[in-house]
Amino acid sequence: MKDVIMAHGIVISSMAVGDYDKRVVLLTKELGKIAAFARGARRSNSSLLASTRPFTLGIFTLYPGKDAYIVQSAEVNEYFEGLSNDMEAVTYGYYFLEIADYYTREGIDESPMINLLYVTIKALLNPNLNNQLVKLIFELRAIVIGGSYPELFHCVNCGQEIQEGIFSIQDHGTYCPECKKIPKNGIPLDAATTYALQYMIAAPINKLYTFTLSEKTMQTAAKVIEQCKKQYQDKTFHSLEILEQMVGVSANKTKS
């Protein structure tokens, strides 16, 4: 048998192939984003039936095939079974998986995105958290992982630390009040919104979903993040369109 690889990761998509097989996309620490075939995974008695569903987190035993990897077995760490009972949460979840697919590549350790997905799905299953806030946090943190994001800690003109100011996506950052810059289409940021955005960018991953925001602060943060998405992403996410239709999410409105 060809060399076997043990890959730690998460299933971000799965589709039927033929009568009994599946083609999955795995996000892994060891191999980055890869395609793999799971033979017989659609059979009712297959050990791979559940472990090749989207959101499944675990250790996948793989070996190289001609055009893609082959899934030999899987040791599941987390199924996130609660998603199957919450249509809203799973709809958000599929949007997050599509964003993860957009930002990841083969041959790169994708642990940052895997870890972000893990804590984010856990947050979706927390009844005490607003799903729209979870969405905003994930969107901005994913942009950060992607490597291109605006300066929200220091004034883009004078360099001093920002506590409040005016955000300008055209200038990729924030102006402090002392610089008296009024950029076109700028978004005024008070101290609460500035701190919230900074926290979303830099908080330890295990502390990312440990806060709430007022309606006003969340609306302003949503405007900033929407501008970031338009600036730094060149794709329309089909799952976001479904999410907007299903649960009434829009870029600049929060869930009531």
| pLDDT tens digits along 69-100 | 999 999 999 999 999 899 999 999 999 999 99
Q: Output the CA torsion sign for 137, 222, 154, 146.
A: positive
| pLDDT of 185 | 84
Give the whole-angstrom CA distance, residue 113 versus residue 131: 19
**What class is the 5-79 domain?**
mainly beta
Give the whole-angstrom CA distance, residue 33 versus residue 122: 22
| pLDDT of 182 | 82
In tens, the pLDDT along 111-140 reads: 999 999 999 999 999 999 999 999 999 999
Give the whole-angstrom CA distance, residue 172 versus residue 191: 19
User: Comparing 5-79 with 82-247, is the CATH topology the same?
Assistant: no
Give the whole-angstrom CA distance, residue 76 versus residue 57: 6
Choice among 65-79, 99-113, 200-214 with the minimum mean pLDDT = 65-79
Give the whole-angstrom CA distance, residue 74 versus residue 59: 6
| pLDDT of 246 | 84
- Whether 169 shows a pLDDT value over 80: the answer reads yes
Span 227-251, mean pLDDT?
A: 86
Full-model pTM:
0.92
| pLDDT of 255 | 40
Choice among 29-33, 176-180, 196-200 with the minimum mean pLDDT = 176-180
Token pair of 49 as six digits:
């039936």
In tens, the pLDDT along 49-67 reads: 999 999 999 999 999 988 8
Angle at 145 between CA 249 and CA 190, to 5 degrees: 60
- For the chain, the domains span 5-79, 82-247
* Domain 82-247, CATH number (from 1.10.3720.10, 1.10.3210.10, 1.20.1440.120, 1.20.1050.10): 1.20.1440.120
- Whether 253 shows a pLDDT value over 50: the answer reads no
- Whether 249 shows a pLDDT value over 80: the answer reads no
The DSSP secondary structure of the chain, one letter per residue, reads -PPPEEEEEEEEEEEEETTTEEEEEEEETTTEEEEEEETTTTSTT-TTTTTTSTT-EEEEEEEE-SSSEEEEEEEEEE--GGGGG-HHHHHHHHHHHHHHHHH--BTS--HHHHHHHHHHHHHHT-TTS-HHHHHHHHHHHHHHHHT---EEEEETTT-PBPSSEEEETTTTEEE-GGGT---TT-EEE-HHHHHHHHHHHHS-GGGTT-----HHHHHHHHHHHHHHHHHH-----HHHHHHHHHH---TT----
End-to-end CA distance of the chain: 56
- Whether 202 shows a pLDDT value over 50: the answer reads yes
| pLDDT of 181 | 82
Span 4-27, mean pLDDT?
A: 95
